[in-house]
Chains A and B, each alone.
Chain A
């Protein structure tokens, strides 16, 4: 299991993570980010890509 943490104070809801890991991140009807705090190990590459593309660098994998 991978544990995902998003700093919601830093998050600006730009939604770039949604393109990289659509199973785990989404923007809701109010343009706010929603995400799964846990993911299967098979999603690691996608989660790392989501971490990479976040302009606010608000996403973190908790090891």
Chain B
């Protein structure tokens, strides 16, 4: 261990914050430095596609509460890591600084994927608070909004814009909105509910061209149809912020590979006790389902992985003999996600995306009302999604946990 060097957490969002808090909870009192690309202290992202767009709330309203235990953590905000040297234990940033470390936590998360067209005014994404605030400026009653992408973010933005009185068209190559995580049955029902509120869909379609010279005026679809618009929202998924790790000999196949203790696994295969991966970019095995490492972009994952990595790293730094036991503990966090679209309150547990369409069935209620839908893999329940239902989901959550 390198005495006096801080634990360096690269990534100043929820995963980084939860790791810092868990490190302190583990008893580690040494220096902790967090480097964050955004200028804002960590904040909650789900409201970005909802309240931030509809009510224009500020950073203060979405910021995570600061805790006394982490008051002495050093935050370097507005700075981006550009290289990592795992042999000499150092990270460099875009402002030319070098940060030596005793242990490294990789928490750089995702960025919004963009359509491959030239930059013009009126193009938006919703990944950061600044993104959402910029989009809000452009939404008023009658604004024609074209959303490209029909995942959760695209559908939530579409619903919020519609509630603000905008004309909304959602364009997507998928057959139904949110079909990958939810399967065909529930996805079709959610499309019907969106349509009843006046959202239009162009499904099975992709964008061939953006119209407008200096300012967005619409999209040309691959079937030759033109959809005119004033504002474009690109909600076509995300890319992992792993560029700064290119020379670090880690497994960057999809995010950063980690073991069940969240230790980074280099390409040579031996997990490093001094390098951890948390949040959206961590590809780790969840023994609740199987041993396949997966990235999971659900809201609870930065918190669960941050707490786990902080506890394991804290034990390694304490060097008191507790490390092996803590690292070997089973880690099987229950994936959970939520969404609000119009009057629909959706809640989900597990990994419904693991089930094929033939293994999805209604467990409670009716598709047109409150409903709980079960997702099976090899006859085992691996996911449950509820519309409206809350406590009714709990026995199924229990069943998924096994």
The reply to whether chain A is a binding partner of chain B is: yes
Chain A residues, Cβ within 8 Å of B299 = 55
A15: chain B residues within 8 A (beta carbon): 390-391, 394
Whether B340 lies near A48 (C-beta < 8 A) is: no
Q: Cβ of B345 and Cβ of A12 under 8 Å apart?
A: yes
Interface size of A in residues (CB-CB distance below 8 Å): 17
Looking at the complex, which one of B44, B62, B347 makes contact with A14 (CB distance below 8 Å)? Answer: B347
Closest to A59 in B: B65
Which of chain B's residues 306-349 have a Cβ closer than 8 Å to chain A? 336, 338, 340, 345, 347
Cα of A7 to Cα of B95 in the assembled complex, Å: 40
A53 and B303: CB pair below 8 A?
yes
Chain B nearest CB from A44 CB (Å) reads 10
Interface string of A30-50 (1 = CB under 8 A from B): 010000000000000100100
Number of A-B contacts (CB under 8 A): 34
B93 contact set on A, CB distance < 8 A? none
Which A residues are in CB contact (< 8 Å) with B394? 15
Q: Which residues of B contact A31 (CB under 8 A)?
A: 389-391
How many of B's residues come within 8 Å of A, CB to CB? 20
A12 to B347, CA, bound (A): 10
Chain A residues with CB under 8 Å of B390's CB are 13-15, 27, 31
Q: Is A23 interfacial (CB 8 A cutoff)?
A: no
Q: How far is the CA of A16 from the CA of B18 in the complex (A)?
A: 17
Please report which residues of chain B, range 257-294, place their CB below 8 angstroms from some CB of chain A when the two chains form the complex. none
Q: Is B64 an interface residue (CB 8 A)?
A: yes
Set of chain A residues within 8 Å of B389, measured between Cβ atoms: 31
Residue of B46, B300, B390 with highest tally of chain A CB at under 10 A: B390
Whether A48 lies near B67 (C-beta < 8 A) is: yes
Question: Closest residue to A29 on the B side, CB-wise?
Answer: B391
Look across to chain A and name the residue whose beta carbon is closest to the beta carbon of B299: A55
Over the window 50-63 of chain A, the binary record of Cβ atoms lying under 8 Å from chain B Cβ atoms (1 yes, 0 no) is 01110111001100
Nearest B residue to A16 by beta-carbon distance? B336
A57 to B347, CA, bound (A): 16
Residue of A with least CB distance to B345: A12
Chain B residue numbers with a CB within 8 Å of A14 are: 338, 347, 390
Would A57 and B391 count as touching, CB distance under 8 A?
no
A-B contact pairs, 7 of them (CB 8 A): A12-B338, A12-B345, A15-B394, A55-B299, A55-B300, A55-B338, A57-B62
- Residue ranges of B at the interface with A (Cβ–Cβ < 8 Å): 18, 25, 44, 46, 62, 64-65, 67, 299-300, 303, 336, 338, 340, 345, 347, 389-391, 394
Q: Which residues of A contact B (CB under 8 A)?
A: 12-16, 27, 31, 45, 48, 51-53, 55-57, 60-61
